[in-house]
Structure 1
Amino acid sequence: MKKLILCLLLPLSLTTAMAQDAQIIQKDFQTIIGYTRKLEIDKVLDMTYPPIFKIMPKAQMSAMAKGVLTSMGIKTVYEEVPIGLTLSPVTKTATGTICLGKYNQSMILESTNSALLDMMVKAKSGSNKVEKISANKVRMKGINYLLAIKDANTAGTWKYLRYDDEDSATNERILPKDIAAGAAKLKAGLK
């Protein structure tokens, strides 16, 4: 009888845990998007999946992110647009738990170097649409993906990783195979 009750309660407790995880992930996604809009790079990196720092140390990644656009004389402003956040189901894999989020992002890049902005409009920027909106401004907007991961690398907490097409080579190097396969399935389900 005890085994029967335990068997009945186990799925209920897993469902409750997954629902709580989904709430945490949704709140964290909002937080990361807010930090990104405010250009608080170090706070975003604190929430980032740790194995990425094996490719590039956190301090170097922070300095690069802060300096790339400003060193070219480009000012970045994230537009307040409805993020339209869609979350996949929270999914268990062999080595962890994952959830994929899909959201809208739009930013204005401003520079006095109109030739640089023209190059940006002509260059393909992943799945983002780039349009010139004035002589010294371009808008870059599109749909982005963020992967939530809880595994042995995250000390039991949720950490996040960009999961856009242009990030695939990096993600292949750092994600365990089961998590990569699970994330690919989740992304196919969100399109």
Structure 2
Amino acid sequence: MKNLFLLFLIFSASTLSAQDQEIIKRDFQTIIKYTSEMKIDDVLNMTYPQLFTVVPKAQMSTMAKGMLSGMGIKMIYEQVPLNLKMTPVKTLSKSSICLSKYNQSMIMEAADSSLLEMLTYAKMKDNIIEKLDANKVRIKGSSYLLAIKDSFTKNTWKYLRYDDENAEANSKILSKEILTAVEQMKTSL
């Protein structure tokens, strides 16, 4: 009887993990779709809520919607093979996490080429920059998205960019346990 119960527990745990993987994969594709359609508020609704302790959600929405267009910058997300890779869900002491790596490509166009240079400099760490003309560049590379389920998310999956350019903000809102686990997970992708 004990062996049967143990077998049931193992089967239940693997079923839940597979369900989580499917939820994360579906959510990931939704986030990519919303991002390419510039549906900023929809993306923010799927974002890890602790990020809003650094920058309030309303302010982040306003900045994302108005900043680029206000500066005369146009972004177009290109359809490229995502080549999505996901780690298994890892259970930590107070959370569960999963790291995804994917390909991304966008074209940025600006009336002011010096502003474009400044923006592309910030994106250089994880990306390849291809100059298309004086006021237009293609930025492509791999990006990371971290799925987190914990008490802050009311035990549902929420997401956070985990690229080098986000490291400072992430270090302010994620526990040392999560940061350490994610760095280990990155090596498997």
* Shorter-chain TM-score above 0.5: yes
Where does 1:105-144 land on structure 2 (aligned, <5 Å)?
A: 105-120=104-119, 125-144=124-143
Aligned partner of 1:70 in structure 2 is: 69
Worse overlay, 113-122 or 83-92: 113-122
Letter in 2 for 1:46: N
Structure 1 residue 135: deviation in Å? 3.1
Please state whether the residue corresponding to 2:126 is helix, strand or coil: coil
Give the length in aligned residue pairs: 189
Aligned partner of 1:152 in structure 2 is: 151
Worse overlay, 66-75 or 38-47: 66-75
Instruction: Output the CA distance in 2 between the equivalents of 1:137 and 1:181.
Output: 38
Instruction: Output the CA distance in 2 between the equivalents of 1:106 and 1:115.
Output: 21
Q: Label 1:120 to 1:132 Cα distance change in 2 as closer, same or farther (>3 A).
A: farther
Q: Label 1:163 to 1:118 Cα distance change in 2 as closer, same or farther (>3 A).
A: closer
Instruction: Output the CA distance in 1 between the equivalents of 2:120 and 2:86.
Output: 30
Worse overlay, 16-25 or 118-127: 118-127
Instruction: Output the CA distance in 2 between the equivalents of 1:173 and 1:116.
Output: 28
Instruction: Output the CA distance in 1 between the equivalents of 2:114 and 2:21.
Output: 44
Structure 1 residue 130: deviation in Å? 1.4
Identity in percent? 54
Aligned partner of 2:95 in structure 1 is: 96
Cα shift readout 1:114-159 (whole Å, capped 9, x = no counterpart) = 3333455566632111121123311111110000001111112100
What runs of 5+ residues in structure 1 fail to find an aligned partner? none
Letter in 1 for 2:141: G
Structure 1 residue 113: deviation in Å? 2.1
Aligned partner of 2:172 in structure 1 is: 173
Aligned partner of 1:79 in structure 2 is: 78
Q: Label 1:118 to 1:47 Cα distance change in 2 as closer, same or farther (>3 A).
A: closer
Cα shift readout 1:135-188 (whole Å, capped 9, x = no counterpart) = 331111111000000111111210000000111111111112222221111112
Letter in 1 for 2:130: E
1:121·1:132 contact (CA, 8 Å) conserved in 2? no
Normalising by structure 1, what TM-score? Answer: 0.93
Worse overlay, 168-177 or 11-20: 168-177
1:148·1:161 contact (CA, 8 Å) conserved in 2? yes
Q: Label 1:86 to 1:113 Cα distance change in 2 as closer, same or farther (>3 A).
A: same
Instruction: Output the CA distance in 2 between the equivalents of 1:124 and 1:15.
Output: 38
Structure 1 residue 4: deviation in Å? 2.4
* 1:44 has 2:43 as partner: yes
Normalising by structure 2, what TM-score? Answer: 0.94
Instruction: Output the CA distance in 2 between the equivalents of 1:123 and 1:13.
Output: 45
Worse overlay, 117-126 or 169-178: 117-126
Aligned-pair RMSD on alpha carbons?
Answer: 1.5
Q: Label 1:123 to 1:163 Cα distance change in 2 as closer, same or farther (>3 A).
A: closer
Instruction: Output the CA distance in 1 between the equivalents of 2:47 and 2:174.
Output: 13
